[in-house]
Chain A
Amino acid sequence: MNASSNPILRIEGVGKAFGPVTAVDDVTLDIRENEFFALLGPSGCGKTTLLRMLAGFESPNAGRILLEGKDISPLPPEKRPLNLMFQSYALFPHMTVRQNLSYGLEMERLARTEIHRRVDETMATTDLTQFADRKPEQLSGGQKQRVALARALVKRPKVLLLDEPLGALDKKLREKMQLELKRMQNEVGITFIIVTHDQEEALVMADRMAILKDGRLLQVGAPEDVYERPADRFVANFIGVMNFIDGKVGVDGLFAAEGLQVKASGNAGSATLAVRPENIVIGPPGDLPVSGAIVDIAYHGLDRVLHVKTTASATPLQVRIPASGAGNWKIGDALSLKIDPARCRLFQ
């Protein structure tokens, strides 16, 4: 979106092991200036360790971390022009909101008036002015979250690191804050790197995202790329909902499973076809090439997901149709379906 293409932060072959456990394994990654970048992965994938290495709380066993071309890996956290918003917020309980925000500026030995001015300014943009003299324990979860964000932003870091920033909030507030964070990032023009295990959150907020598993980088790209063209079966399954159909690619280049054939380019041999629920078209029995029966229907408000048993796979296929769409399907109904060869992926 507003991301230019020069990298502000370059992670170069970074690795970290705790004893025999490899937390981060040879990760190379460029983060561009002003982009909202998400590190996404299941818990234990190494994303938090990577973030802590950027902040300076862990030192990499291998590789370099370059900020605007300079290696910052030997610097202690207090010397790095990056700030971290902690998962637990880590607000100083013995200080008021104003004191929490001033703390980082006092460490830069700025003049009192300057500190005051910048704190006031940041409190205004984060809607905290009325809470200036409250202690953290007198704040709600959402307010604490904003204080944590403001405390890091007031330092005007080159890069802001956010460790599961919305994890402690309830679903409603989380959705509101996702947009809020994105707006804020646009306003202040600072590079944001967010760590999250919530793929939906990453899809909504990020300009680009990286998917990690077991310390390895699996894929980097814009949300659309990752969603539409997942690099492997794990990513495909992790991001959004995906149907997997095991089968074979024949010498003719056709993917075939029991009762199903799809045009797909691939080498001959066993393969898995992955298709999103919205990329399956359904019709009355006999109209389309594959026939099946509805075993379950889940209503999601805007749309409905039909679970359709076919001969092609052991688990029923999920098919997403608009809730208002034609057809009054009931459990047990027979139907036929078709998979759009242009919109599915083949993993071998």
Chain B
Amino acid sequence: MNATLSSKLPGRIVLLLVFGFLYLPIAVLVLLSFNASGLPTSWSGFSTRWYGALLSNTDILRAAGNTFIVAVFATVISTVLGTLLALGMETRRRKSNGLEALAFAPMVIPDIVLAVALLTFFSRLGLTMGLHTIVISHVIFDLAFVCSVVRARLKHFDFSIVEASRDLGASGWTTFWRVTFPVLLPSIVAGALLAFTLSVDEFIIAFFTAGAGRSSITLPMQIYSMIRFGITPEVNALATIVMGVSATALLISQWLNRQQQVP
């Protein structure tokens, strides 16, 4: 901004280095996924064979299917619960510290702790574990994130429009569907997309609450078992697809958040 105070150059160099650090490893992975040999040893030509290999790998396809099912259920449940929780918290007269802590905890609790707690809990209840227990567990942190996104919108929600609607003769129910909900919708969708992304990517809690059978393996669990012992060419292709999906969901979520920003 000001030539006498600071030059732009050092800032640009810092940004270049940091963005290089953040994106080079990912870029390498994406590039490798199109390398015919699949290995970082040498570039042996452009090929999509590893993408083809993915399609014929039934383990991966099943894991992807499981992940999708888990993410969809967890997203639907957590979006409803998270939105209601956000409305409840933001319309309270007094802030409750206990409630704040409860809604905040899932975002900061070490996932390994939550994972073993849920494992202990489910086995104590004698519940058979599977995809359903993963869904139940994912809803915990998903709903906390949905809640925080919707609350951020509610913080500069002008509650006088609700009063205006009532003043103009609408009932509480009508007001909610005609006024409150449409205003909140972009943030609800943004929260849902975030929840979906988190669920698709979540590994540790799924790993502990999936139960013993191979039938409830999710994609991150499948990836973990593939990369434990080094480089697997198929993973490069899989990683590229997963990152592409996450990035797209995030871009949409961000865009929606931007649309509703109050100037």
Asked if chains A and B are in direct contact (CB within 8 A), the reply is: yes
A343 to B3: give the CA distance in the assembly, Å.
49
- Which one of B2, B3, B4, B5 has the highest number of Cβ atoms from chain A below 10 Å of its Cβ? B4
Residues B1-23 near A (CB distance < 8 A): 2-5
Chain A hits for B2, CB < 8 A = 57-59
A316 at the interface (CB under 8 A from B): no
Chain B hits for A76, CB < 8 A = 4-5
* Interface 1/0 per residue, A20-63 and B, CB below 8 Å: 00000000000000000000000000000000000011110000
Q: Which residue of B lies closest to A73 (CB)?
A: B4
In angstroms, how far is the closest chain B Cβ from the Cβ of A57?
6
Chain A hits for B3, CB < 8 A = 59
A76 to B5: give the CA distance in the assembly, Å.
7
In angstroms, how far is the closest chain A Cβ from the Cβ of B2?
6
Chain A hits for B5, CB < 8 A = 57, 76-77
Chain B hits for A77, CB < 8 A = 4-5
A181 to B5: give the CA distance in the assembly, Å.
30
In angstroms, how far is the closest chain B Cβ from the Cβ of A71?
14
Residues A62-116 near B (CB distance < 8 A): 76-77
> Considering only CB atoms and an 8 Å cut-off, how many residues of chain B contact the other chain?
4
Chain A facing B: main interface SS: loop
Q: How many residues of A sit at the interface, in one of the four size bands? A: under 10
Contacts between the two chains (Cβ within 8 Å), count: 13
A59 to B1: give the CA distance in the assembly, Å.
11
Chain B hits for A57, CB < 8 A = 2, 4-5
Q: Which residue of B lies closest to A53 (CB)?
A: B4
A168 to B56: give the CA distance in the assembly, Å.
70
Q: Which residue of B lies closest to A58 (CB)?
A: B2
In angstroms, how far is the closest chain B Cβ from the Cβ of A14?
14
A58 to B5: give the CA distance in the assembly, Å.
8
In angstroms, how far is the closest chain A Cβ from the Cβ of B217?
52
A56 to B3: give the CA distance in the assembly, Å.
11
Chain B hits for A56, CB < 8 A = 4
In angstroms, how far is the closest chain A Cβ from the Cβ of B117?
40
A76 to B6: give the CA distance in the assembly, Å.
11
A263 to B5: give the CA distance in the assembly, Å.
57
A77 to B4: give the CA distance in the assembly, Å.
9
A59 to B6: give the CA distance in the assembly, Å.
12
A77 to B5: give the CA distance in the assembly, Å.
9
A58 to B2: give the CA distance in the assembly, Å.
6
Residues A131-174 near B (CB distance < 8 A): none
Chain B hits for A58, CB < 8 A = 2, 4
A57 to B2: give the CA distance in the assembly, Å.
7
Chain B hits for A59, CB < 8 A = 2-4
A98 to B226: give the CA distance in the assembly, Å.
63
A58 to B3: give the CA distance in the assembly, Å.
8
In angstroms, how far is the closest chain A Cβ from the Cβ of B6?
11
A83 to B3: give the CA distance in the assembly, Å.
20
In angstroms, how far is the closest chain B Cβ from the Cβ of A53?
10
Q: Which residue of A lies closest to B3 (CB)?
A: A59
In angstroms, how far is the closest chain A Cβ from the Cβ of B5?
7
A57 to B4: give the CA distance in the assembly, Å.
7
A159 to B4: give the CA distance in the assembly, Å.
21
In angstroms, how far is the closest chain B Cβ from the Cβ of A84?
14
A299 to B3: give the CA distance in the assembly, Å.
52
A59 to B5: give the CA distance in the assembly, Å.
9
Q: Which residue of B lies closest to A59 (CB)?
A: B4
A118 to B4: give the CA distance in the assembly, Å.
31
A56 to B5: give the CA distance in the assembly, Å.
9
Q: Which residue of B lies closest to A74 (CB)?
A: B4
A59 to B7: give the CA distance in the assembly, Å.
13
A76 to B3: give the CA distance in the assembly, Å.
10
A56 to B4: give the CA distance in the assembly, Å.
8
A57 to B6: give the CA distance in the assembly, Å.
10
Q: Which residue of B lies closest to A18 (CB)?
A: B1
In angstroms, how far is the closest chain B Cβ from the Cβ of A73?
9
A59 to B4: give the CA distance in the assembly, Å.
6
* Interface 1/0 per residue, A293-328 and B, CB below 8 Å: 000000000000000000000000000000000000
In angstroms, how far is the closest chain B Cβ from the Cβ of A286?
57
In angstroms, how far is the closest chain B Cβ from the Cβ of A144?
25
Q: Which residue of A lies closest to B4 (CB)?
A: A59
A205 to B2: give the CA distance in the assembly, Å.
32
A58 to B6: give the CA distance in the assembly, Å.
11
In angstroms, how far is the closest chain A Cβ from the Cβ of B101?
26
In angstroms, how far is the closest chain B Cβ from the Cβ of A76?
6
In angstroms, how far is the closest chain B Cβ from the Cβ of A95?
22
A57 to B3: give the CA distance in the assembly, Å.
9
A125 to B256: give the CA distance in the assembly, Å.
55
Binding site for A on B (CB under 8 A): 2-5
Given known contacts A57-B4, A76-B4, A76-B5, what 10 new A-B pairs fall within 8 Å (CB)? A56-B4, A57-B2, A57-B5, A58-B2, A58-B4, A59-B2, A59-B3, A59-B4, A77-B4, A77-B5
Top 3 A-B pairs, shortest CB-CB distance: A59-B4, A59-B3, A76-B4
13 interchain pairs, CB-CB under 8 A: A56-B4, A57-B2, A57-B4, A57-B5, A58-B2, A58-B4, A59-B2, A59-B3, A59-B4, A76-B4, A76-B5, A77-B4, A77-B5
